[in-house]
Structure 1
């Protein structure tokens, strides 16, 4: 479940319940009745907050991306090598969500939300993440700690390629250990490319 400090407590409870239901039953099989029951409220009360399951899914995804982008930006501000910062940002991007998804048979469905009604929310969230990486690169180049001399492009191009690599990694892993190892390799490779 995405972390959300400023949410209304009832909305937060609904989103937590929905995430649990989606993990247990899958998005397609989860009903509004399931979510209402898990949230400890009636269906009419649930409908006062969300008109349908798609709106709940979109709120979950949007909240995840907003929190992940903020956590990534914080991680990139830490001291250390470019590889260290990138790995910290990759770990921050996932939070605890990825490991929870690995423990359920419905995790892959949640990991591939581009094919859902929320595809525009996913695209906007990925844009947020690209922007976080691009800003970090631009600031690092300006400060002299990073360089684009070994790349054939811009900070935005670097950020886009990095995010595409991360998305590809997410699509191809089989265990959390292989995924984390893939993140480490990507962080070291991309970090070496831009370290000044």
Structure 2
């Protein structure tokens, strides 16, 4: 009699385990990666990922036909401040140095993917912009960057990269970009010289880093 009772309990327990496993498998299948197409609003959910949001802002900015940005470079926070004006018009970069000379450069921009940015954090937000921080790897060593993205347009408002001192002859540098999408700031200069082509994510400040 005792053996039958134990056997009955064992059979019942096994049925419960099998049923639970079947329920878990069903749940995983319904919610896993192979559950079917993403819902319609999945795009907005992807942008909740800070790295995806940063990448989207860069792509939206650098696929804009006309815009400009100010380049500001400081060494150790205060020494040797350098400023440049950059205007991008139909895949042409017009660059004005601190001496006032203009040059024109063909552009071959590398539009970033989310994998280019790491340890992305949404730091804060106002009614006008969202502030993100991240590390970027397009230049080899990881470089910390702060990014401000317009809530209204989804485009870049400002970026700030911090480069550490390397060796005895270099100082730590900060490179800032301030963006403008006003058409009056993207007029083509009357006089300029033809310069070398630019590629990469940071056209116009390669020699300042």
TM-score class, shorter-chain normalisation, is under 0.3
The structure with the greater share of residues assigned to helix is: 1
Higher Cα radius of gyration = 2
Report the TM-score when normalising by structure 2.
Answer: 0.24
Higher strand share: 2
Superposition TM-score, scaled by structure 1 size: 0.25
